[in-house]
Amino acid sequence: MATTIITDLKEKFRRGSLCLQLIYINAALFVAVSLMQIALLLFNCSPAGLLEWVELPASFTRFAVQPWSLFTYMFMHAGLLHILFNMLWLYWFGQLFLNSFSARHLRGLYVLGGICGGLLYMLSYNIFPYFRPMLEGSYLLGASASVLAVVAAVAYRDPDYPVRFLLLGTVRMKYLALIVIGLDLLFITSANAGGHIAHLGGALAGLWFAASLNKGHDTTAWINRLIDILSSLFSPKTRRPKMTVHPGGGRRQEYDYNARKKAQNDEIDRILDKLKQSGYDSLTTDEKRSLFDASKR
């Protein structure tokens, strides 16, 4: 039974959109860390130190010892409600994001938003005297900065999109983004000051991404290239099966395949040139679909 459940989850992960895949990754890590904390408690060991190595410290001295935390913190959560609300926002606005941008953009922006939110958090705690007494003991974790980057990008691309809430009614995306950012500014000195600062950094990253893409520059390109390189290092190498080439027929099939592949690559290059020169809005529906399909290959 357990094997069947794991197989089903793997298949759903493989077939799901990138938005759902990010949610699966966050949920799996949350469950794994929670189980490890329970195991430590059963042996009368404190689980507090476990999260410290994947949380983002405010102190630059501590960060120098664990630089990977600038990436890992955006996949960690402090409790069930914390991850629940973050993943609900990621699901709702991630789907809207994929209507206007590609899956690679979502992957890159999730990381970019987390990085910008984390850096603004660290800089604020080291620059402003207000945070100095709490500098050494402060840590940041959660996907909020990454999620806010997605929300801000959607608000920039489609500011008048109506978002329906149960009690508030219909609110346009631009006003929703302004409300969220305004609340973060108001609570910047609250008990969760680090979280609100990170939200602002993530939102700025989302606006930067969307505005730059309109001008033909993709600020997430370097992140996606780095992820591709790392993925290729850890992914299993698949051996290509040997082919029996029949005189004439095999060479003809190979020629046809190469011709189709070249035509597809030429078309993607043309679309990318158009995107760089005129922006994303200049693309036709078919061109957007072709670019989206290419990003998933």
Angstrom distances, CA of residue 98 to CA of 33, 105, 151, 198: 30, 9, 12, 23
pLDDT value for 287:
76
Domains of the chain listed by start with CATH number: 52-228 (1.20.1540.10), 249-297 (no CATH)
pLDDT of amino acid 235? 72
In angstroms, the CA 73 to CA 192 distance is 16
63-116 tens-digit pLDDT: 999 999 999 999 999 999 999 999 999 999 999 999 999 999 999 999 999 999
The candidate with the shortest Cα–Cα distance to 51, out of 84, 85, 79, is 79
Tokens of 227: 């992820």
Question: What is the Cα–Cα distance from 156 to 213, expressed in whole angstroms?
Answer: 11
Element spanning 172, H or E: strand 169-172
d(CA 182, CA 174): 12
Compute φ and ψ for 167, nearest 5 degrees.
-100, -30
* pTM of the full structure: 0.78
User: What is the structure's pLDDT at 240?
Assistant: 57
Among 37, 34, 53, residue whose Cα is nearest residue 45:
37
Residue 250, pLDDT score: 54
pLDDT of residue 258: 67
What is the C-alpha separation between 72 and 141, in angstroms, rounded?
Answer: 8
Write out the chain's pLDDT in tens, 297 residues: 666 777 777 787 888 889 999 999 999 999 999 999 999 999 988 887 788 899 999 999 999 999 999 999 999 999 999 999 999 999 999 999 999 999 999 999 999 999 999 999 999 999 999 999 999 999 999 999 999 999 999 999 999 999 888 777 899 999 999 999 999 999 999 999 999 999 999 999 999 999 999 999 999 999 999 999 998 888 766 555 555 555 555 555 655 666 677 777 777 777 777 776 667 677 777 777 777 677 655
CA distance 170 to 59: 42
